[in-house]
């Protein structure tokens, strides 16, 4: 069968597909332009796409023989799953493998913002480090502070485990409360969102992007936070109202922010890049060699199983697909 791979993958990973199928792959280490993407999907039976590719009605209409959409990533808000389901096309993703990498980057942002790591690095490189003084270039301590985790799934729990090493107090909020045994294991206390925002010194977001979580953190929520508090977002950009965040940072309503994702990625809200109390990363939460390799192998496995007409290991819409196919 003919397969489109929209992102550049290593030859050893692609060879697993090429053993039985014909592969057209994007050889550039950047997302495909929309026109090239639409031209590339025509006549294909499978696609291995990434979060940069918009898989919508227009895309699907060009590939009436499509049998599987294998997504390289955990987020899938770029895929019209309902449209795929109506056509009987399974949609898969790569859960679980990026938990530790994303938790690491969330904690890196906590430390970087609070201890002014990026700002200090830049000052030193530019020749600004000329003396040491007791109250020069002060940051804020992380150890012993209160960490608020919004979304206590795999990644949220991994962040909580890292926070334990810093003797932090953990409060959390989520759609579902943990079992008491899990709360005790993580030393985590459940709070409604508004109470968490008032209490936490650091607020770390770990929720999927849904209609309920879009702009979960806006101007009203930011006003509830402490003036010294830091907001961390490694989930999805639109979970935060970025314009409201810029306003809150400019006016000193919160102490800082660490972002790996953006509302209109890769564009930044006006004024964000000029703020010293923000650390901005280019969506690298899962960007370790080990994690991205595991994600690629999982996506390929999902693809190959789907091409055989079988249920892929990590399918988001199998019940809907079965209904369409009348199985």
**Per annotation, catalytic residue among 236, 253, 263, 292:** 236
236: annotated active-site residue: yes
Angle at 114 between CA 124 and CA 183, to 5 degrees: 150
Annotated active-site residue 265? The verdict is yes
Q: Considering 78, 187, 215, 283, which one is annotated as catalytic? A: 283
Residue count of the chain, please give it.
327
CA distances to 49, 86, 89, 92, 308 from 1, rounded to whole Å, are 16, 22, 15, 18, 10
DSSP, collapsed to helix, strand or coil, labels residue 220 as: helix
Q: Give the torsion sign (CA, 224, 231, 263, 293).
A: negative
Give 310's contacts (C-beta < 8 A, 6+ positions apart): none
Tell how far CA 77 is from the center of its chain.
11
Do residues 147 and 156 touch, judged by C-beta distance below 8 A? no
DSSP-assigned letters across all residues of 84-104: HHHTT--EE---STTHHHHHH
Spatial separation of the C-alpha atoms in residues 318 and 100, rounded to whole Å:
28
Q: Is 206 a catalytic residue?
A: no
Contacts of 241 (CB under 8 A, 6+ apart): 215, 217, 218, 219, 263
State the catalytic residue, choosing from 183, 195, 247, 265. Answer: 265
Strand-strand pairing, 146-150 and 46-50: unpaired
State the Cα–Cα distance between residues 204 and 200, nearest whole angstrom: 10
Q: Give the pair of three-digit tokens for residue 126.
A: 């530019």
Q: Which residues are catalytic?
A: 236, 265, 283
């Amino acid at each position: 069968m003919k397969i489109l791979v929209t992102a550049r993958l290593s030859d050893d990973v692609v060879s697993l597909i090429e053993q039985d199928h014909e592969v057209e792959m994007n050889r550039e280490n950047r997302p495909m332009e929309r026109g090239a993407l639409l031209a590339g999907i025509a006549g294909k039976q499978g696609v291995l796409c990434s979060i940069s590719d918009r898989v919508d009605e227009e895309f699907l209409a060009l590939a009436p023989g499509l049998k599987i959409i294998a997504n390289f990533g955990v987020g899938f808000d770029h895929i019209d799953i309902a449209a795929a389901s109506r056509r009987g096309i399974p949609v898969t993703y790569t859960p679980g493998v990026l938990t530790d990498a994303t938790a690491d980057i969330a904690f890196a942002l906590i430390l970087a913002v609070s201890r002014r790591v990026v700002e200090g690095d830049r000052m030193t490189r530019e020749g600004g480090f000329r003396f040491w003084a007791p109250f020069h270039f002060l940051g804020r301590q992380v150890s012993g502070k209160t960490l608020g985790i919004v979304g206590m799934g795999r990644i949220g729990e991994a962040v909580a485990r890292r926070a334990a090493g810093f003797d932090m107090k953990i409060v959390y909020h989520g759609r579902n409360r943990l079992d008491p045994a899990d709360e005790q294991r993580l030393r985590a206390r459940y709070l409604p969102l508004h109470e968490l925002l008032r209490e936490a010194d650091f607020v770390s977001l770990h929720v999927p992007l849904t209609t309920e979580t879009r702009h979960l953190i806006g101007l009203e929520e930011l006003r509830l936070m402490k003036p010294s508090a830091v907001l961390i977002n490694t989930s999805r950009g639109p979970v935060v109202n970025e314009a409201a965040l810029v306003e809150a940072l400019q006016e000193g309503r919160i102490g800082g922010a660490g972002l790996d994702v953006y509302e209109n990625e890769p564009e930044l809200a006006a004024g964000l890049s000029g703020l010293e109390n923000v650390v901005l990363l280019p969506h690298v939460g899962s960007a370790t060699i080990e994690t991205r390799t595991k994600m690629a192998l999982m996506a390929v496995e999902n693809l190959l199983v789907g091409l055989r007409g079988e249920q892929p290991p990590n399918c988001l819409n199998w019940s809907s697909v079965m209904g369409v196919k009348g199985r």
